C-alpha cells in the first residue's frame, strides 16, 4: 500500500511539473499536436490556456502503443465543478476545480516538495495512470481492452468551471476569473484539423461535467469535420434539465451562458463555441435532426446519482431561486421528461440511453478497470443493472464501436429499469418544445427557431464532479 501511495505521489509530481514548467499564452491558434515526440503507449502533458484562477491549464496527449486508426481521434473531458460568482468560485469545496495546485495540495494531500521533483516534459507510461484514476483512458489498464485502443487522443482535465463552453473573463466583486473551457476545446479541434484533415471518426466522452461538455460540442465537431461520424458519450450527466427555474436563472445571470448573462462578462473572446437554447426541452432532438444520423449521443447513468443531489444542494447555496423541495424532488421526473422527448423526437438511432435505479456516479471510471480485467462479477455490479437489458459495459463498448447495442434486438436504443411507454406515446414533437415547471410538470411552448448548437441546454449547469 505504501509503495502504491509513493507511486501515486510520484505520478502527481509529474502532472504538476508539466504545467508548472511553463505558462501558456491565451489561445492564438498556434497550439499543435506533436505526437511524434511521445513514445508509443505514453501520455505527455502540454500547457493550454488558463484555469479559472488564472493558473495554467493543461491537456494530456495520448499516443497509443500501436496506432491502428490514424484517421480517428478521441477527447476525454474530465468532470469538474462550475462556478458563476465570487462566492461559488471561492467556495471551500468548489474552488478545487478552478486551480490545479489547489486540487492536488489541499484536497489530494500532495506535499508541496513534490511539485519540484520533475520540471521537464517527461512522458508517462499509460499503465501508471491507472492508480490516479483520472477517468477512462485507453491503455491505462492494458492494451486491447478499451473500445478506443489504437487511436490518438487527448485527456482534458477540467479547471475552467464552465462545462467546457466558456469564452469569457469575468469580474466577480472586483476579482477576475477566467472561464476559458470553450476556448481550450476550440483550440484542440483546430489542432486536430491540422493533424487529421480528413478525420473519419471523433469520439467525445466524459463523466459528469465532462459528459455534458461532450454533448455540447458534438454538433460543432460535426461542422468542423463534415466527413466524420461523431459520437458523444455522456456518463452520469443527468443534472439540471432545461426549462427549470434554476436553468433559466443560469441563462440570464451566468456570464459564460451565451444568453443574457454573457453581457455581465468583463471580456468576451472572439472564439466560436456552442450556443445554448436553455428553455427548450426538445433542443437536443432538434439539433441532432440536422445531421442525418452522423452525430450520435448516448447517455448512461443512475436515476438517483448521489453526486447529482449533493451538487445541486452545494450550488443551491449561491442561487437565490433555489428551492430544495422542488429542484431536488423533481430530479428523476425531469430526467424522464428529457429522455422520452429526445428519444421520440430525434432521428432514429441518433440517441441511445442506459439508466439503472442506483446511486453510483461516473460509471465508466467506476467500472472501466474492472471491465478491462474481465472481472465479470464486478463488471456486473448488482447495484448497476437493467433487467431484461444489456450490461452497462456492453452498452458503452458497442456504442463506441458503432455496433448494435443489443445484438438480439438491433433496433433497441433505450435500456431503462422502468417502462416509460405511456409517457413516450404522450410526448409531442410537432414543433413544440417542453418547459418544465419547478414541480416537474411539462408545459408546451413554441420552439424558438433553429437551435444553434443547443446540445448542452439539455443537461446540467451545476457543480459536476
At 90-106, the pLDDT tens digits run 887 788 888 877 766 66
Burial class of residue 406 (count of CB atoms within 10 Å of its CB; 0-12, 13-18, 19+): middle
Is the pLDDT assigned to residue 434 strictly greater than 60?
A: no
Burial class of residue 405 (count of CB atoms within 10 Å of its CB; 0-12, 13-18, 19+): buried
Is the pLDDT assigned to residue 323 strictly greater than 60?
A: no
The β-bridge relationship of strands 56-63 and 42-50 is antiparallel
Q: How far is CA 390 from the centre of its chain?
A: 23
Q: How many residues does the chain have?
A: 465
Is the pLDDT assigned to residue 389 strictly greater than 70?
A: yes
pLDDT of residue 326: 59
The pTM of the full predicted model, rounded to 2 decimals, is: 0.85
Q: Which residues pair with 80 in a beta bridge?
A: 464
Is the pLDDT assigned to residue 116 strictly greater than 50?
A: no
Residue 122: closest CA among 10, 7, 45, 31: 45
Residue 212: closest CA among 297, 128, 147, 116: 297
What does the alpha-carbon distance between residue 338 and residue 416 come to, in Å, rounded to a whole number? 14
| Dihedral sign computed on CA atoms, order 285, 179, 304, 324 | negative
pLDDT category of residue 241 using cuts at 50, 70 and 90: low
Lowest mean per-residue pLDDT among 34-38, 96-100, 235-239, 313-317: 313-317
Is the pLDDT assigned to residue 81 strictly greater than 60?
A: yes
Helix (H, G, I), strand (E, B), or coil: what is residue 352? strand
Burial class of residue 425 (count of CB atoms within 10 Å of its CB; 0-12, 13-18, 19+): exposed
For 355, 378, 395, the CA distances from 419, given in Å and listed in that order, are 11, 26, 18
Amino acid at each position: 500500500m505504501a509503495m502504491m501511495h509513493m507511486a501515486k505521489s510520484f505520478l502527481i509530481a509529474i502532472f504538476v511539473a508539466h504545467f508548472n514548467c511553463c505558462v501558456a499564452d491565451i489561445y492564438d491558434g498556434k497550439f499543435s499536436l506533436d505526437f511524434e515526440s511521445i513514445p508509443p503507449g505514453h501520455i505527455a502533458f502540454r500547457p493550454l490556456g488558463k484555469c479559472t484562477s488564472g493558473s495554467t491549464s493543461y491537456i494530456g496527449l495520448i499516443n497509443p502503443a500501436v496506432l491502428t486508426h490514424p484517421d480517428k481521434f478521441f477527447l476525454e473531458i474530465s468532470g469538474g465543478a462550475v462556478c458563476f460568482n465570487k462566492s461559488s468560485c471561492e467556495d471551500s469545496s468548489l474552488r478545487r476545480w478552478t486551480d490545479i495546485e489547489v486540487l492536488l495540495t489541499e484536497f489530494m494531500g500532495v506535499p508541496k516538495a513534490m511539485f519540484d521533483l520533475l520540471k521537464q516534459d517527461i512522458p508517462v507510461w499509460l499503465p501508471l495512470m491507472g492508480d490516479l484514476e483520472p477517468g477512462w483512458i485507453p491503455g491505462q489498464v492494458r492494451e486491447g481492452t478499451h473500445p478506443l485502443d489504437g487511436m490518438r487522443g487527448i485527456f482534458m482535465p477540467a479547471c475552467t468551471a464552465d462545462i467546457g463552453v466558456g469564452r469569457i473573463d469575468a469580474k466577480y466583486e472586483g476579482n477576475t476569473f477566467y472561464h476559458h473551457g470553450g476556448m481550450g476545446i476550440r483550440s484542440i479541434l483546430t489542432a486536430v484539423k491540422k493533424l487529421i484533415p480528413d478525420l473519419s471518426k471523433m469520439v467525445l466522452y466524459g463523466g459528469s461535467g465532462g459528459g455534458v461538455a461532450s454533448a455540447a460540442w458534438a454538433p460543432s465537431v460535426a461542422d468542423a469535420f463534415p466527413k466524420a461520424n461523431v459520437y458523444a458519450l455522456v456518463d452520469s450527466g443527468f443534472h439540471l434539465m432545461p426549462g427549470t427555474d434554476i436553468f433559466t436563472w443560469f441563462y440570464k445571470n451566468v456570464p459564460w451562458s451565451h444568453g443574457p448573462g454573457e453581457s455581465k462578462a468583463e471580456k468576451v473572446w472572439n472564439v466560436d463555441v456552442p450556443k445554448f437554447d436553455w428553455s427548450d426541452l426538445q433542443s437536443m432532438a432538434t439539433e441532432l435532426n440536422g445531421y442525418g444520423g452522423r452525430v450520435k449521443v448516448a447517455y448512461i447513468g443512475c436515476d438517483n446519482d448521489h453526486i447529482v443531489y449533493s451538487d445541486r444542494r452545494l450550488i443551491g447555496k449561491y442561487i437565490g431561486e433555489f428551492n430544495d423541495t422542488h429542484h431536488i424532488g423533481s430530479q428523476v421526473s425531469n430526467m424522464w421528461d428529457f429522455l422520452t422527448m429526445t428519444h421520440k423526437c430525434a432521428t432514429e438511432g441518433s440517441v441511445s440511453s442506459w439508466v439503472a435505479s442506483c446511486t453510483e456516479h461516473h460509471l465508466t471510471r467506476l467500472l472501466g478497470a474492472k471491465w478491462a480485467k474481465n472481472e465479470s462479477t464486478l463488471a456486473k455490479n448488482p447495484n448497476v443493472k437493467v433487467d431484461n437489458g444489456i450490461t452497462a459495459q456492453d452498452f458503452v463498448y458497442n456504442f463506441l464501436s458503432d455496433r448494435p447495442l443489443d445484438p438480439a434486438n438491433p433496433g433497441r436504443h433505450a435500456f431503462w429499469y422502468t417502462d416509460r411507454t405511456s409517457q413516450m406515446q404522450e410526448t409531442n414533437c410537432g414543433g413544440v418544445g417542453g418547459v418544465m415547471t419547478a414541480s416537474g410538470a411539462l408545459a408546451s411552448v413554441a420552439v424558438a427557431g433553429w437551435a444553434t448548437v443547443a446540445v448542452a441546454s439539455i443537461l446540467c449547469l451545476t457543480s459536476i464532479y
